[in-house]
């Protein structure tokens, strides 16, 4: 609405006094300021990032990152010839990450940015498939039954197996064993195994799978059978945590059997949404047939992605984070998060009705717990998650599929942007929620299917 020819007020405008269109384009344009405000108002109903303890993704981004993202909004990272410095910065990130993951020759390896770990996992998986198939062809053996062995994996590996026609042999969880073990891997490997994928930071419990012991077991298997099975590590979260705060855990290219690793820059890499990484141990570990050559400063550059056009912003922000924080900065930030996670775990434990499944001390910053079997309470964990939403907290509750009997667990991730005071407020709210549910039992309990959408969101 205008007054004397000037814009007057968003909320007195015609567009805010009627429903805006939801199913088809309107014929006439609207005032952009008004529409922006209407959309921003609607988005207020989404949870605020800081209180979202269900996500692994970075939600605290400084003003410099906002500025870099803004300046890069029109740069297409795939156009290497037009944006050679973006390509250069992406390469520097690959070198830095290869070094961080102890590649034997970090300046001469191969790797690339992706939209996230899901795409990175597909690329890692495809390389495994190609390597296996070539080997099988050389031996004159059939190539129609590839399989992949994982522990309890993130959904991207289910997608990979489905889309690329691979049998997924996912090791199920058992009572008191939530991770893959060398014994369980050995039960499933055979000549058609394209690779084994341990996870560094399992989605469900935040723990690290023991890559070294799995690698050792596969060494032994090779000695006995001659079959050489490579490892790809899904280090979506742990890839940007372990190198800084758990440097003594041997999980990366220090193990010769680890041929490729993926990580999410937009999780503990502290970068904004839209960037993941995959790096191969050595150039030879990525089959040449998978690589396309693109023009780059008059020359040719290797390219291997599923996606094409994408903003340079998250890649440039990743480089900013690497240079701005350095190793010690990342360590300080992640150690602070570990401290808050451990604190929350201790406080939750004190309440006496929960069993701690992961105490936050040895893997990702965060905690996971379940209700004690004999906890004499009026509510389940889904009810508690629902109640915590009243104060804005998102706490993931979900079903762990365990061979003997499924259990429901609750999981909290601690990320950059959290503080001890926030942790205390969270605990106070948790106690208040429990008191409330005890005093006012629900007529009908929240169940797993009510919560499906929030679970999907959380992974
Ligand atoms: C988050 C996650 C993924 C998927 O990563 P995106 O970056 O969200 O695509 C894959 N694996 C694990 C273990 C994860 O935590």
pLDDT tens track for 55-64? 999 999 999 9
Cβ–Cβ under 8 Å, residues 375 and 389: no
pLDDT of 298? 73
Q: How remote is the CA of residue 32 from the centroid of ligand 1, in Å?
A: 36
Please report where in the chains the tokens 């706490």 appear, as a residue. Answer: 395
Q: Whose CA is nearest to atom 1 of ligand 1?
A: 236
- Mean residue pLDDT of the chain comes to 94
Tokens found for residue 199: 């996870």
176: left (phi over 0), alpha (psi -120 to 50) or beta: left
Quote the percentage of the chain above a pLDDT of 90.
87
pLDDT of 445? 77
Residue range 164-174, pLDDT digits in tens: 999 999 999 99
DSSP per residue, 156-190? HHHHHHHHTT-EEEEPPBBTTB-S--HHHHHHH--
pLDDT of 2? 63
Closest CA to 388 of 360, 348, 359: 348
Q: How remote is the CA of residue 267 from the centroid of ligand 1, in Å?
A: 8
pLDDT of 459? 47
- Which residues pair with residue 410 across a beta bridge? 369, 397
Query: How many of the other CB atoms lie within 10 Å of CB of 447?
Result: 12
Give the mean pLDDT of 87-106. 96
Q: Is 353 helix (H, G, I), strand (E, B) or coil?
A: coil
| Ligand 1 pocket mutation, candidates 160, 236, 237, 260, criterion most atoms within 8 A of CB | 236
Write down the pTM of the prediction: 0.95
Structural domains present in the chain: 1-33 (no CATH), 66-324 (3.40.640.10), 335-458 (3.90.1150.160)
Question: Considering only 10-14, 243-247, 291-295, 340-344, which range has the smallest mean pLDDT?
Answer: 291-295
More confident residue, 256 or 458: 256
- End-to-end CA, the chain: 44
Q: Whose CA is nearest to atom 5 of ligand 1?
A: 117
pLDDT of 458? 47
Q: How far apart are CA 399 and CA 454, in angstroms?
A: 12
Residue range 380-435, pLDDT digits in tens: 999 999 999 999 999 999 999 999 899 999 999 999 999 999 999 999 999 999 99
Ligand 1 shell residues, CB under 6 Å: 56, 116-118, 121, 154, 156, 199, 201, 203, 234, 236-237, 264, 276
Cβ–Cβ under 8 Å, residues 363 and 238: yes
Q: How far apart are CA 132 and CA 104, in angstroms?
A: 23
376: left (phi over 0), alpha (psi -120 to 50) or beta: beta
Residue 150 CA, chain-centre distance (Å), reads 16
Q: How remote is the CA of residue 280 from the centroid of ligand 1, in Å?
A: 18
| Burial group, residue 281, by CB count within 10 angstroms (0-12, 13-18, 19+) | buried
Please report where in the chains the tokens 């549910």 appear, as a residue. Answer: 437
Q: Is 31 a residue whose pLDDT tops 80?
A: yes
| Ligand 1 pocket mutation, candidates 123, 200, 240, 264, criterion most atoms within 8 A of CB | 264
Q: Is 100 a residue whose pLDDT tops 90?
A: yes
| Burial group, residue 296, by CB count within 10 angstroms (0-12, 13-18, 19+) | middle
Q: How far apart are CA 435 and CA 451, in angstroms?
A: 22
The CA-atom distances, in angstroms, between 383 and each of 285, 390, 444 are 48, 12, 10
Phi and psi (nearest 5°) for 249? -75, 125
Q: How remote is the CA of residue 154 from the centroid of ligand 1, in Å?
A: 6
pLDDT of 457? 45
pLDDT of 295? 76
Q: How far apart are CA 99 and CA 111, in angstroms?
A: 12
Q: How far apart are CA 50 and CA 57, in angstroms?
A: 11
Cβ–Cβ under 8 Å, residues 384 and 353: no
């Amino acid at each position: 609405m205008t007054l004397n020819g000037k814009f007057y007020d968003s909320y007195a405008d015609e567009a805010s006094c009627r429903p805006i269109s939801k199913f088809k384009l309107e014929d006439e344009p609207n005032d952009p300021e008004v529409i922006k405000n209407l959309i921003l108002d609607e988005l207020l109903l989404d949870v605020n990032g800081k209180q979202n303890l269900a996500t692994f993704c970075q939600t605290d981004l400084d003003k410099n990152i906002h500025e870099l993202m803004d300046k890069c909004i029109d740069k297409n990272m795939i156009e290497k010839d037009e944006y050679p410095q973006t390509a250069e910065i992406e390469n520097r990130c690959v070198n830095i990450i290869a070094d961080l993951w102890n590649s034997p020759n970090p300046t001469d390896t191969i790797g690339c940015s992706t939209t996230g770990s899901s795409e990175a996992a597909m690329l890692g998986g495809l390389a495994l498939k190609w390597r296996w198939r070539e080997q099988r062809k050389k031996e004159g053996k059939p190539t129609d039954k590839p399989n992949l062995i994982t522990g309890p994996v993130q959904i991207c590996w289910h997608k990979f197996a489905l889309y690329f026609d691979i049998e997924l042999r996912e090791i199920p969880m058992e009572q008191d064993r939530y991770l893959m073990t060398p014994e369980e891997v050995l039960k499933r490997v055979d000549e058609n195994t394209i690779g084994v994928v341990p996870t560094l930071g399992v989605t469900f419990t935040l723990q690290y799978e023991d890559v070294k012991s799995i690698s050792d077991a596969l060494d032994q298997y090779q000695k006995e059978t001659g079959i050489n099975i490579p490892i790809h590590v899904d280090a979506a979260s742990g890839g940007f945590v372990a190198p800084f705060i758990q440097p003594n855990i041997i999980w990366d290219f220090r193990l010769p059997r680890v041929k490729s690793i993926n990580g999410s820059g937009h999780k503990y890499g502290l970068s904004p949404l839209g960037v993941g990484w995959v790096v191969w141990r050595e150039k030879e570990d990525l089959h040449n047939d998978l690589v396309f050559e693109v023009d780059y400063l008059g020359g040719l550059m290797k390219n291997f992605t599923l996606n094409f056009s994408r903003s340079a912003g998250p890649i440039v922000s990743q480089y900013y984070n690497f240079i701005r924080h350095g190793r010690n900065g990342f360590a300080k930030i992640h150690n602070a998060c570990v401290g808050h996670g451990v604190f929350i775990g201790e406080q939750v434990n004190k309440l006496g009705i929960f069993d701690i499944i992961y105490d936050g001390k040895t893997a990702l910053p965060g905690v996971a717990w379940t209700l004690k079997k004999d906890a004499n309470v009026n509510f389940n964990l889904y009810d508690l998650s629902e109640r915590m939403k009243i104060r804005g907290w998102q706490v993931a509750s979900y079903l762990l599929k365990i061979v003997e009997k499924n259990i429901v667990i609750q999981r909290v991730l601690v990320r950059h942007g959290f503080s001890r005071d926030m942790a205390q407020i969270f605990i106070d709210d948790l106690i208040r929620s429990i008191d409330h549910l005890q005093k006012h039992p629900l007529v009908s309990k929240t169940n797993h299917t009510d919560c499906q959408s929030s679970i999907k969101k959380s992974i």
